[in-house]
Chain A
């Protein structure tokens, strides 16, 4: 079996495993995996920027949180909003925000880009944190989940845990396919070229700014999708959704999984969520409540990954696979 086939088989096996989750797992785990898939969408959208276009955005949570706020603000208080109108609206607002911020931040590059993206996301954080627009620092509740209503016909019910899981899974697969198609297309080749050598792409006549902006907007809209789903799942939207910890943590998912691989960031999202859960449930040792101070372990883990795993888990898997191949065949 060649490598391509093996990868494809693994991919389908993972997908099959994910599809089986609701039938074998308890409610808690179904909800956990829903959350993992949502964060997977979020991480894949950031991978488009960091891994494929070479834009290290440290403010990606802004678009995630914005879409959540759009849902919370347009939902009638004790009635369901319509999924098919609010979702495009939420993603649209995130996309427009990404267009405006992107047009500004893409004037910079490198280290400036990192700082400026972070600063703009903090600006939004303070907008929602300090003003009374949507409950201030406490956030705002989404009491009733949006209804999937097509002229009175309701194909599924988001209040149902299993239904929500499958909707999120379908969207996760959809986002994955969409990004694959985009990256395989001519557009994908161009942004590859921009990451590797922007000057050369420019001199070949490509309007690189517009390509980068298009990526930024697409990534923002997809982050919006994830934020919208997160708002549905948790039933609450607060400024912490767009705080820099959220941006840092999704960036960590991308690197941990392996940037520029698309599958990696999704894997990274899963590992991060499971680690978080694992660290939080650690017992008290020697009078120190490790579970409560789990961020200490998480922080140390992040430091180690940055030092030792530059290509993430996917890089590690690739390395191990190559080594195994090398054992079997003679080097040549």
Chain B
């Protein structure tokens, strides 16, 4: 592998990792703050991508589609929290898993009814077309750099929101003691609703900005969801910092696993077994630190 290819794969890996971070941070926030495990999280990634596709077909403009899509996903998140999720706070994780598993089936079928089962592509906006030359004969598409930049900006925004604002203070307080915050006169129910809606919106947004580079297809949320579980397990649940480090790590391992050729004693290991590398990484982390790199000691 020459330097140019290496650089391109490096950028790809980081971009994939940053995208995973957006999805995983929604998952880890909802769990860390509300104590709810949401298996249906990946479905919102799919919903986001399909919204980006169908709305941009309608408006002829991806930007408008993303704007409307984000508003719709926030509303969807608030609606679901009001209808179902709020009933799960006091329940065992088992029922949270079961209910949200049911939601996956519902979302898959609704998607099939509303948008059909075809694979779609989303047009890259004109301003993001083209590529930046890296070496004499290799170039890197602008749209991928844009995705990375947007993800980094959102990560910084999220950090500032949680650490530096009043609502962030309420969120952190709610995570450590729900009853206390409630009895101090804050509407914790509303805080939870906002957190859940934000988590959903982050994920759906990730699906929207990913749509131009990856195609839009049924079941696209499931793969992302499970990789995000791996990210959360490696990073430590509830830790946004951990999610960031683990997501980048997974992004790189997954990307390089697909392009590096490894052969031991005539048996081809990579890229044939590329699908398994991230899980092996997870197994290694579990052996070393079962609570994740940035997790609290169990």
Contact = CB atoms under 8 A, between A and B. Distances in A.
A114 B93 contact: yes
B287 interface: yes
Interface of A is mostly: helix
Interface in A123-147: 123, 126-127, 129-131
A189 B163 CA distance: 48
B84 interface: yes
**Which secondary structure characterizes the binding site on chain B?**
helix
B179 to A, nearest CB: 21
Contacts of B101: 248, 251-252, 302
Interface stretch (B133-141, B191-199, B228-236): B228-236
Interface string A15-27: 0000000000000
A295 B282 contact: no
B230 A119 contact: yes
Nearest to B27: A115
Given A129-B275, A252-B101, A112 B237 contact: yes
Contacts of B84: 303, 307
A111 B103 contact: no
B67 interface: no
Given A126-B276, A306-B98, A110 B93 contact: yes
Contact of A108 (B31, B104, B290): B290
Interface in B133-179: none
Interface residues of B, number: 45
A307 B275 CA distance: 36
Interface in A104-122: 104-105, 107-112, 114-116, 118-120, 122
A104 B102 contact: no
Interface stretch (B8-16, B56-64, B108-116): B108-116
B260 interface: no
A298 B97 CA distance: 15
Contact of B97 (A107, A131, A251): A251
A255 B96 CA distance: 12
B190 interface: no
B87 interface: yes
B98 to A, nearest CB: 4
Interface of A: 50, 56, 58, 104-105, 107-112, 114-116, 118-120, 122-123, 126-127, 129-131, 244, 248, 251-252, 255, 288, 293, 295-296, 298-303, 305-307, 310
Interface of B: 31, 37, 84, 87, 91, 93-95, 97-99, 101-110, 112-113, 222, 226, 229-230, 232-233, 237, 272-276, 279-280, 282-283, 286-287, 290-292, 298
19 contacts: A107-B290, A112-B292, A120-B279, A122-B226, A126-B275, A126-B276, A126-B279, A130-B273, A131-B273, A248-B101, A255-B94, A255-B95, A293-B109, A293-B113, A295-B106, A296-B105, A296-B109, A302-B102, A310-B95
